[in-house]
Structure 1
Amino acid sequence: MRKIVLKTLTDYFKNTLSFGLSISFLSVSLYLLGLMTSQVDSLLSYQRLDIQSGDFWQLITGNLLHTNHWHLIMNLAGLWVILSLHDMHYSTKSLWLLFAGLCLLEGLGLYLFYPALLGYVGLSGVLHGLFAFGAVADIKRKMTSGWLLFIGVIAKVSYEQVYGASADVTTMIGARVATESHLVGAISGLILSMSIIIFQPRNIS
């Protein structure tokens, strides 16, 4: 049974398994630590006033914290779905670099364009970035699914900016869904994907 499970995982996540496990372990560990001490939240969550005072790491680390176990479960489930969709586009190194870039752009985007947002935690903004990046990678490979995913993420984010997030999700995670983070994340994913396309070395014949 163990061999079957391992084979299934390696088949679906040939290039992203170690990354997915690492992010899952890190997120779960931080969540459990946060249950034991409030210092985790005060030190690592995105807090605008603290960032203004020099706690710049919160621009990145806030993406790895969660409000409750439902918030954590939903985001990690989303992460694994995205990795399964776009595993073929990544190497372990490129995925870590992309993730770090998205975390930084997410934090900077919220800080620069949403001054009224004083606090934020969660991986969903970065997940929207990964999804958008993967959709563009699909399109670049001339995969029809890429256009469907691209239109889907644009439609979802646009809807949220007008109507907000589901009330059920808000109740489940015990906090307001920061839909602005989804917008920033999706735009960040598009910026990074376009940057790679523009600056990628081209063969000269």
Structure 2
Amino acid sequence: MHYLNRYWVGLVLILAISCFLQLMPDWHQQLTFHSETVMSQGWPLITTHFIHLNWTHALFNFAGLALIVVIWREYWNTRWLVNALLLSSAATSLILWLLPFTVIFVGLSGVLHGLLGYCLIKDIKAGKKWMWLIVIALIGKVVVELLGWQPDHFVGQHVSVIHAAGLLTALLLYKLERRRISDAVPHKD
């Protein structure tokens, strides 16, 4: 059973769920994040990150997730990968819900920014100081996107905000890693 805790099991599980949901286009409207209705439904806070505009969009996001998980495999096990993905998904969605304009989106790219940022923070804390260059490049990319530069493959007007919200979740992931819910409850001695 120990092999079930390896990083690749979590990756396969996440990709399988995403592929299954992508094969159910009739469900997409109910699973999509729409900032005006998301809180009355709840589930789109998470589910929107597991569906995509089309298979090309899905495959690019799947490749990004696989690269992050495989390159930084020492930071992942099944439990933490699934937890990190769910935490980043919910936090990204909550940040987008708080914005003063309507956001409608699907896809994993915001969460990928959070997972990548988390891995870079872990590398820096592990002594790989040169990773600051990649952090600065990633933040610079997101800032430039927020200022209006968007490649042709971006679909939708709020992709840059989604990436920025996802990147912010890297700090949350770093803060919450390896914490247990029971640690948040004060113990009487």
Q: TM-score range by the shorter chain?
A: 0.7 to 0.9
- Distance in 1, matches of 2:8 and 2:67, equals 12
Tell me: CA distance 1:114–1:28, structure 2 relative to 1, closer, same or farther (3 Å). farther
- Runs (4 or more) in structure 1 with deviation over 3 Å come to 174-177, 194-197
Measured in 2, the distance between the counterparts of 1:55 and 1:142 equals 43
How far is the alpha carbon of 1:46 from its aligned partner? Answer: 0.5
Task: Report 1:20-169 matches (<5 A).
Answer: 20-34=11-25, 37=26, 40-52=27-39, 54-117=40-103, 119-167=104-152, 169=153
Structure 2: 5+ residue runs without aligned partners?
184-189
Percentage of matched positions with identical amino acids = 26
1:125 touches 1:185 (CA, 8 Å); kept in 2?
A: yes
Separation in 1, partners of 2:14, 2:100: 26
Query: Residues 84-132 of structure 1, C-alpha deviation per residue, up to 9 Å, x if partnerless?
Result: 2211112221222111110110110100125321x11000000000000
- Give the number of equivalent residue pairs: 178
TM value normalised by structure 2: 0.84
Measured in 2, the distance between the counterparts of 1:45 and 1:195 equals 27
Aligned-residue CA RMSD (Å): 2.5
TM-score normalized by the length of structure 1: 0.78
Amino acid at match of 2:37: D
Following the alignment from structure 1 to structure 2, what is the Cα–Cα distance between the partners of residues 194 and 149? 20
Gaps of 5+ in 1: 1-9
| Aligned residue type for 1:20 | L
1:183 Cα deviation after fit: 0.1
CA distance in 1, matches of 2:165, 2:75: 22
Q: Return the alpha-carbon distance in structure 2 between the equivalents of residues 64 and 96 of structure 1.
A: 12
Distance 2:89 2:17 in 1: 14
